[in-house]
Amino acid sequence: MSLKGQQESPTYFWEDGGLLKDAPVDFDATFAENMWVSTKPIQFMTFYRNPLKVVPNFTVPRHLHNIDETIIVFQGEYKIEYGDPADGQFVIVKPGCFFTSRAGTPYTMTAGPEGVTYIETWGTPVTSLKTVWYDYGWVRK
């Protein structure tokens, strides 16, 4: 399932505090043909989750969430750069491994040369999730 139309989400914010829909970036053009939500159900009783597939070498633009998020990789790998970019902190998450981004910590995720299949999970319902996006990695309007 496409991620199209998510720029209008009232829970997506731009780094200046305004809504992502008013930002100078194009969500659909950035994510189109690069990432989509899997239509195959994944049964995890204790997680609120989104199963996702990403094409090779795609970088999800820098962002943060208001609650902790854990990703679990099934195929391929993700390079996740987190925290202050000047610090150069990153981790490579491979199949069977996970990474937890702490609430308020900005990060980017770059799929490896084979792409990546993973789920993102939260310990609370996604209705309480808010995302702040930064001006890095976008297709411009």
Q: What is the pLDDT of residue 45?
A: 46
Q: Taking a C-beta distance cutoff of 8 angstroms, is the pair 83, 90 a contact?
A: no
Rounded CA gap, 13 and 63, in Å? 9
Confidence class of residue 109 from pLDDT cuts 50, 70 and 90? very high
CA angle 32, 49, 6 (to 5 degrees): 30
Considering the chain, what percentage of its residues have pLDDT values greater than 90? 52
Least confident stretch, 31-40, 47-56, 100-109: 31-40
User: Can you give the residue ranges of every domain in the chain?
Assistant: 6-133
Using CA atoms, how far apart are residues 47 and 124, in angstroms rounded to an integer? 8
φ/ψ of 58, rounded to 5, equals -75, 135
Give the global pTM.
Answer: 0.72
Q: What class does CATH assign to 6-133? A: mainly beta
pLDDT tens per residue, range 40-93: 655 554 555 668 899 999 999 999 999 999 999 999 999 999 988 899 899 999
Distance CA 87, CA 81 (A): 10
Question: How many other CB atoms are found less than 10 A from the CB of residue 105?
Answer: 15
Reported as a single tens digit per residue, the pLDDT across 9-23 is: 888 889 898 988 999
Q: Tell me, what's the pLDDT at 96?
A: 94
